[in-house]
Structure 1
């Protein structure tokens, strides 16, 4: 094999590699942007649910002077703990994303 032919093949391979890396980089950026948008939407939904939850808990507390005996409040507390867990997961996910 001639040196020029070898050099040409190496240059072609490097060019193909560079193009492939560029395509994958662009796809990664698009995926990252999509995930960031989904995360932002989820965080907005979560905040809205927290507000609704707080309002419902307040209303339920006003209905019964003993919230521990009210099964609806018990269910709301369970829902609240699930929402808190989701919030922690969302926070952890957001922090794991590259900036």
Structure 2
């Protein structure tokens, strides 16, 4: 397989934005680093908008974005659950 300039550019676009987001959040916004997963998914959508609707890659691309967004939701839910900010259905007092 030959490394074409397009392949190298796509590889760089897949690697550089997530790394930059994590480093920026780690340096200045450490409390909100969990949002880097969702922002990475958003960057992927914006950077690869033309490939999003290409018939061969749509399913894989959609699954990748959904996995990233679900991971963000799970991390946020667990964090809120640990801080006792989420009231579950079984914790309501009976009156």
Taking structure 2 as the reference length, the TM-score comes to 0.42
CA radius of gyration, larger in: 1
Which has the larger helix fraction? 1
With structure 1 as the length reference, what TM-score do the two structures score?
A: 0.41
